[in-house]
Chain A
Amino acid sequence: DVKVTQSSRYLVKRTGEKVFLECVQDMDHENMFWYRQDPGLGLRLIYFSYDVKMKEKGDIPEGYSVSREKKERFSLILESASTNQTSMYLCASSLLGSRETQYFGPGTRLLVL
């Protein structure tokens, strides 16, 4: 079975802090994704990566950056956390190609005070 893990289930940070969210998958997937989920808005794509050191912006990249130095690991970085970044963050991975299913991690609930 594919396993996608995220570094924290719950995280509390203060405004202005630099925040790192990490995601690791164990099935050699090329694609990795970061979403945020807010009530009534569904999942919105922040960034995705289709290979090591490769990334593309999603729908809402402002205020975020990403890093993919190894194939199995995809990090989301909040350079200076703000209260409007309080949200549920979900990581996913999939094989390359348009006919592949996505596998999700358990999510990280981030609260920025």
Chain B
Amino acid sequence: GIQVEQSPPDLILQEGANSTLRCNFSDSVNNLQWFHQNPWGQLINLFYIPSGTKQNGRLSATTVATERYSLLYISSSQTTDSGVYFCAVGVISSGGSYIPTFGRGTSLIVHP
């Protein structure tokens, strides 16, 4: 199956710093999503971005599908950005269903 690798696995920042998280994937995909999991376990979808660039406030994401990677940028980080960031890529199963595969995540801690 498709392989999804995220880097770095862990990241510690001071409040106000910027960061870049990376997601590499091993095959062509129909779908790519970025999620944030807060310290209480809830996953929230940040971006649906199979290609191109999107921005939402201090967060932005870029996917270069031809080179099989995506980047998530966090600017002016805040303590509320702490948590785990997951990349999930989707392929179509043999039965014709869309199956998302998750990376292992980047754990981010932002200190005040």
Give the B-binding residues of A (Cβ under 8 A): 31, 33, 35, 40-45, 48, 50, 56, 58-59, 88, 90, 92, 94, 96-104, 106-107, 109
List of 8 A-B pairs having minimum Cβ-Cβ separation, nearest first: A98-B30, A42-B104, A104-B43, A43-B102, A107-B41, A98-B98, A42-B102, A101-B45
Distance to closest chain B CB from A89 (angstroms) = 10
Please pick, from A42, A56, A100, A101, the residue contacting B103 in the complex, using a CB distance under 8 A. Answer: A42
Give the A-binding residues of B (Cβ under 8 A): 1, 30-31, 33, 35, 40-45, 48, 50, 86, 88, 90, 92-93, 95, 97-105
Which residues does chain B contribute within 8 Å of A104, judged by CB atoms?
A: 35, 42-44
Q: B-side binding surface: helix, strand, loop or mixed?
A: strand
Which residues does chain A contribute within 8 Å of B44, judged by CB atoms?
A: 104
**Inter-chain contact B41/A106, CB cutoff 8 Å:** yes
**Inter-chain contact A98/B93, CB cutoff 8 Å:** no
Q: A-side binding surface: helix, strand, loop or mixed?
A: strand
13 more A-B residue pairs beyond the given contacts A45-B100, A56-B97, A101-B33, with a C-beta to C-beta distance below 8 A: A41-B104, A42-B102, A42-B103, A42-B105, A45-B99, A48-B97, A50-B97, A88-B41, A96-B98, A98-B30, A100-B31, A102-B33, A104-B35
Distance to closest chain B CB from A25 (angstroms) = 14
Please pick, from B42, B86, B93, the residue contacting A43 in the complex, using a CB distance under 8 A. Answer: B86
